[in-house]
Chain A
Amino acid sequence: MVGFIIRRIAWAIPTLAFVSFIAFFIIQLPPGDYVTAYAAQLKHSGEYLSPDQEELLRQQFGLDQPIFIQYLDWIGNILLHGDFGRSLEWNANVSDLIWDRLGLTLAISTLSMIFTWAIAIPIGVYSATRQYSFFDYVFTIFGFVGKGIPEFMLALVLMWLGFVYFNFDVGGLFSAEYATAPWSYDRVIDMLKHLWVPVVVLATGGAAGLIRVMRANMLDEMGKPYVETAYAQGLSERQVIWHYPVRVALNPFISTVGWALPALFSGDIIAAVVLNLPTTGPLLLKALQMQDMYLAGSFILILSVFTVVGTLLSDILLAWSDPRIRYG
């Protein structure tokens, strides 16, 4: 087991180095750079930058250097000083911009993932053990509808319901008076009041799909001979179901739990824009539009790190839960 983990970690390091370079490289791919986008924006509002001024800005931002040098500068600062560079657009340190939002993103992601699993696993098991029963059909319908409704749509409907019928101040993660206030007990309570909408929105779509996965896995597993063996030992139905087929049916969940990190980090962009959440999604979208390369690059780098680390985590978890992987 220890050897397995060390091997996996050793593989993760070159992957990360490669991914960071690709991330930086991709940001540079669109024609032009931040200065071009900036000049275009200024022109839009009636101002004008001369070619000399543009050149000066480029020198100032270090954009005239070859890509490889820019990359080395950037990654060197990250590794040595934890400095992700400055956002050209926001004229602020990337780390200041990101970490604040990152915490909130992680909070929402984790909550909605726990919520998703807490809904999906018991319902999937129930649906499979009572296949074709009334509630199985109810959950099936819920599953397809939940999967079919786009998240932003659900977000809009919930916001409307909350606003019209319950007079909630929905949208955003904080009420106006707490938006910029330092963390306090009241601020946390205020956040929890706003948090349920995004959590429900994100969990509905996720749970709908996972119920189907869990149900299908369980139906596969319950037909296997080892389940009959377990019954033949005198275990009750509940003991058999939860100790045997559920253990095996959970494998796909465990092997994808790592992906939940990056998926929730970027996948909730539309819902986050609609709900006006101060999470990372909308910020990333803006950075990409403006070719704010250090900000966007850092985002994509963090996203990739999450992907790699997440995959590593789920691999380790899977090996822990399924011996066939550990010794495979």
Chain B
Amino acid sequence: MAGETLPPMPPERLIELNDVAVHFSLREGLVRAVNGVSYHVNKGEVLGVVGESGSGKSVTVRSIMRLQPKTALDAGGAIRFRLPDGSVTELNRLPRDGREIRSIRGRHIGMVFQEPMTALSPVHSIGTQIARTYQLHTGASKEAARNRAIDLLARVQMPRPREMVDVYPHQLSGGMRQRAMIALALTCEPSLLIADEPTTALDVTTEAQILDLLRSLQAEFGMAIIFITHNFGVVADIADRVAVMYLGRVAETGTVDQIFYHPKHPYTRALLQSIPRLGQKRVHRLKTIPGMVPDPFNIPAGCVFHPRCEHAVAGRCDVAEPASRTFDGGQIARCHLADSLPELVS
């Protein structure tokens, strides 16, 4: 396995994914949903993962939690996670319903889901759900767990936490439910919080409040965050580093400044150009990326992005799959032309 030959993780590294692949065997054929994803998160760092629907963002983080659907096949790669005591576990080798992964889920890795409307149990009060997680991992008394729930609700800035602890999800608004969801994920002060499009289902005002909250909680608890979104604006707002995903691969990773000001991959560039900006010259129409995300059963040969890429070179991009190339400052791009693209004019 790859894990034996990998260099040891540097001490500041919290989690590292190397060449992770997850496939789904469907009646129509094999879907390579995640096909060689590598990224890492350092302690206390916020990684924004950006990509279109179907790019494999969610499947990748679910394989960190070992929560893939039962039809998913682990098709290789290594996911290494550093526990608070400094030891490193290879998450991808743990059995899915085993004791080890269960002691990590909810304790060292918390997860916030996209749909606050349905992601909380409708028949348990907010407090019960938080208290159950706390008791599970700490063996605390009922009383202590309840106090912990009240404390957490206060920390996610729920008004009147003493009353809210007995409230059921359907009595709360979307933003309040997402706060409760965040409180649940932070129950045991995990070192990694995975947020899978936590603000997609919310309106923009609430979204801004939740982002503010996550930022202040990150400062308070010091946990690292993997923040999945398809919204570049949100990434600029919260992330330290960015991974851009396309069709089950990471097209480009880098710091927020690198990605926004010096994108090396044509896909990143195209995405950024398709976002309207204030103060932009009004002469040209907003650019779009031509074509559609390919059908998962017919992944293009060569670079998967070449049919939609305006810089694609025939005979090169449609033949050979580009390797990841590392540039100054740790920026990584998977493109044959990464250093020879014309400068951006914005």
Residues of A that sit less than 8 Å from B by CB: 224-226, 228-237, 243-244, 247-248, 321-324, 327
In the assembled complex, which residues on chain A have CB atoms less than 8 Å from the CB atom of B123?
A: 244, 247-248, 321-324
B184 within 8 A of A: yes
Residue on A with the closest CB to B120? A226
Q: Are A229 and B102 in contact (CB under 8 A)?
A: no
The answer to whether B168 touches A233 (Cβ under 8 A) is: no
Cross-chain contact B65 with A232 (CB below 8 angstroms): yes
Check A235 against B136 for contact (C-beta < 8 Å).
yes
Contact A229 B121 (CB under 8 A): yes
Most buried by A among B113, B118, B123, B168: B123
Asked if B122 is an interface residue, CB under 8 A from chain A, the answer is: yes
Asked if B155 is at the interface (CB within 8 A of a chain A CB), the reply is no
Cβ-defined partner of B122 (8 Å) among A228, A236, A324: A324
Instruction: Say which residue of B67, B120, B125, B136 sits within 8 Å of A231 (CB atoms).
Output: B67
A234 touches B106 (CB 8 A): yes
B102, A236: Cβ atoms closer than 8 Å: yes
Scan residues 118-141 of chain B and give those whose CB is less than 8 A from a CB of chain A: 118-123, 125, 132-133, 136-137
B153 within 8 A of A: no
A233 to B114, CA, bound (A): 16
Asked if B97 CB lies within 8 Å of chain A CBs, one says: yes
Q: Please indicate the chain A residues that have their CB under 8 angstroms from the CB of B136 in the complex.
A: 233-235
Question: Chain B's nearest CB lies how many Å from the CB of A59?
Answer: 61
Find out whether the CB atom of B102 lies under 8 angstroms from the CB atom of A248.
no
Is B104 an interface residue, CB under 8 A from the partner? yes
Known: A228-B113, A228-B119, A324-B123. 9 other contacts (CB 8 A): A224-B118, A225-B113, A225-B115, A229-B119, A230-B121, A231-B105, A232-B67, A234-B136, A236-B102
Chain B neighbourhood of A225, CB < 8 A: 113-115, 118-119
The smallest C-beta distance from A222 to any residue of chain B, in angstroms, reads: 11
CB distance from B127 to the nearest CB of A (A): 12
Complex contact B104–A232 (CB within 8 A): no
A248 to B, closest residue via Cβ: B123
> In the assembled complex, which residues on chain B have CB atoms less than 8 Å from the CB atom of A243?
132
Residues on the B chain within 8 Å of A235, using CB? 102, 106, 132, 136
Q: List 22 A-B contacts (CB under 8 A).
A: A225-B115, A225-B118, A225-B119, A226-B118, A226-B119, A226-B120, A226-B121, A229-B119, A229-B181, A229-B184, A231-B67, A232-B67, A232-B111, A232-B185, A234-B102, A234-B107, A234-B136, A235-B106, A236-B97, A236-B102, A321-B123, A323-B125
A226–B111 CA distance with the chains assembled, in angstroms: 12
Contact of A323 among B115, B132, B137, B168 (CB under 8 A): B168
Could you say which of B111, B113, B137, B168 contacts A324, with CB atoms under 8 Å apart?
Answer: B168
Write the nearest CB–CB distance from A240 to chain B, whole angstroms. 10
Q: Which of B118, B137, B168 contacts A234 (CB 8 A)?
A: B137
User: Roughly how many angstroms separate A230 CA and B170 CA in the complex, as a whole number?
Assistant: 17
